[in-house]
């Protein structure tokens, strides 16, 4: 697996002898390190902690954290399985109802992902529940991408993760997760919680829409009807194609395809959107057409004309942004600073009358919109 600067590789679902795994935490961690993983989230089954000590479990995770970050989570439930992360405290429980599991993890200060939702014997009974962060799209070799798409099409903001669910050291390593984080537990947790996560069986794959990253919502100007994407990847030698999928309420379509052999990373491209498009997400495929990488989605939302910094309102800050575009000064959007020559999406946000330049008439447009919106 290629290591990518700013991202860490790991696995967020595996078991040790604290529940039904066959190896100690130390052995699992040492195997993971050999494979190149940089973090692990242990998820031993919650009911086992009626018999075993949670505190010892946490301590053993900490002790195994040399040259790898090992964190202590848990898989809750008996027949419905729910992965709980970021737990501030812990109490074992025999809760098994779908909504009950989600609420229980929240009551422990954590958040969670539904494990193997379409497993034949340990599947999730009720997907109409609320309050979960996402679903395990890949569990070992099995995939429920179709189910993820169904949820996304219903306008649910559901994130995806991919894990081995390893019960022995030899099952580690495929698939794995890239999280956008530095080497700190808090940063890894934050990435898992917000969807700055790429699922992989080899290559790294990522994209941005304008200034928006994985798991975020990109503002698309009302008049534009297109999204500007910046797609990046690091191949392990197996990545052949990148498919850009668009999720609409009535179906999933391929918005574009990149041949990674012909085009070097990064690639900038523009894809058309429908009025009610929900989100975009990427698949990476190998030469036999198998999906070997999946990004989390970037959701799309209409942005009012004049809202240049994309914060949902039009005010004096947007007037200043537009002025800065006119004088070709740098400006911050979504925590990043953009300098002249601006990316196309930013130029389009400023060229409100669509005449191909950003000048004082565009500034006047923003000023008028800001004044109209001011309460009087
Ligand atoms: Ca604004
Ligand atoms: Ca203009
Ligand atoms: Zn499991």
Residue 204's alpha-carbon distances to 2, 6, 7, 133, in angstroms, are 7, 12, 10, 23
Helix (H, G, I), strand (E, B) or coil at 29: helix
Contact 78, 123 (CB under 8 A): no
Residue ranges for the chain with pLDDT beneath 50: none
Q: Is the peptide bond before 341 cis (omega within 30 degrees of 0)?
A: yes
Return the pLDDT at 138: 98
Chosen CATH of 7-201 out of 3.40.50.300, 3.20.20.140, 3.30.160.270, 3.40.50.970: 3.20.20.140
105 Cα to the center of ligand 3, angstroms: 16
Where do the CATH 1.10.1330.10 domains begin and end in the chain? 304-373
User: Is the CB of residue 99 less than 8 Å from the CB of residue 129?
Assistant: yes
Amino acid 223: pLDDT: 79
Confidence at residue 376, expressed as pLDDT on a 0 to 100 scale: 58
Residues with CB under 5 A from ligand 1 (ion): 307, 309, 311, 318
206-301: CATH number: 2.60.40.10
Ligand in closest contact with the CA of 321: 1
CATH 3.20.20.140 range(s) for the chain read: 7-201
**Which candidate, 317, 258, 306, 250, places its Cα nearest to that of 282?**
258
* Size (the chain), residues: 376
Tell me whether strands 241-248 and 251-259 are parallel, antiparallel or unpaired. Answer: antiparallel
Query: Do 93 and 76 form a contact (C-beta atoms < 8 A)?
Result: yes
CA-to-CA separations, 271 to 152, 193, 257, in angstroms, rounded? 19, 28, 10
The alpha carbon of 365 and the centre of ligand 2 are apart by a number of angstroms equal to 9
The CA-CA-CA angle for residues 190, 193, 197, to 5°, reads 85
Residue 218 · residue 212 · CB < 8 Å? yes
Q: What are phi and psi of 190, to 5 degrees?
A: -60, -40
In CATH, what number does 304-373 get?
Answer: 1.10.1330.10
For the chain, give every residue range classified as CATH 2.60.40.10: 206-301
pTM of the model: 0.94
Distance 319 CA to ligand 1 centre (A): 9
Q: Which residues surround ligand 2, an ion (CB under 5 A)?
A: 351, 353, 355, 362
């Amino acid at each position: 697996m290629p290591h990518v600067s700013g991202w860490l590789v790991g696995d967020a679902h595996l078991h040790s002898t604290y529940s039904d795994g066959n190896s100690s935490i130390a052995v699992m961690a040492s195997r993971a390190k050999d494979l190149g993983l940089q973090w692990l989230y242990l998820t031993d089954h919650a009911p086992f902690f009626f018999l075993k000590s949670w505190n010892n479990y946490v301590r053993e995770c900490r002790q195994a954290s040399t040259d790898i970050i090992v964190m202590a989570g848990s898989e809750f439930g008996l027949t419905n399985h729910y992965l709980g992360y970021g737990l501030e405290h812990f109490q074992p429980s025999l809760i098994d109802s779908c909504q009950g599991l989600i609420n229980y993890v929240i009551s422990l200060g954590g958040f969670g992902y539904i494990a193997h939702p379409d497993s034949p014997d340990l599947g999730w009974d009720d997907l109409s529940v609320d309050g979960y962060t996402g679903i395990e799209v890949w569990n070992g070799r099995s995939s429920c991408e179709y189910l993820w798409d169904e949820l996304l099409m219903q306008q649910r903001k559901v994130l995806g993760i991919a894990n081995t669910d390893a019960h022995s050291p030899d099952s580690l390593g495929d698939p794995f997760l890239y999280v956008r984080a530095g080497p700190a537990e808090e940063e890894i947790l934050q990435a898992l919680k917000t969807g700055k996560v790429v699922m992989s069986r080899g290559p790294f794959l990522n994209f941005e829409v304008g200034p928006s990253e994985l798991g975020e919502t990109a503002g698309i100007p009302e008049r534009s009807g297109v999204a500007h994407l910046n797609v990046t990847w690091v191949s392990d030698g197996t990545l052949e194609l990148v498919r850009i999928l668009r999720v609409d309420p009535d179906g999933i379509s391929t918005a574009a395809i990149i041949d990674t052999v012909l085009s070097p990373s990064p690639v900038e491209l523009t894809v058309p959107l429908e009025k009610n498009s929900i989100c975009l997400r990427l698949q990476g495929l190998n030469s036999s057409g198998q999906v070997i990488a999946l990004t989390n989605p970037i959701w799309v939302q209409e942005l009012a004309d004049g809202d240049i910094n994309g914060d949902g309102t039009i005010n004096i800050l947007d007037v200043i942004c537009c002025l800065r575009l006119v004088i070709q000064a740098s400006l911050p959007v979504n925590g990043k600073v953009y300098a002249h020559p601006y990316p196309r999406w930013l130029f389009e946000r400023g060229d409100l009358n669509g005449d191909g330049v950003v000048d004082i008439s565009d500034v006047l447009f923003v000023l008028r919109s800001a004044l109209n919106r001011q309460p009087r």
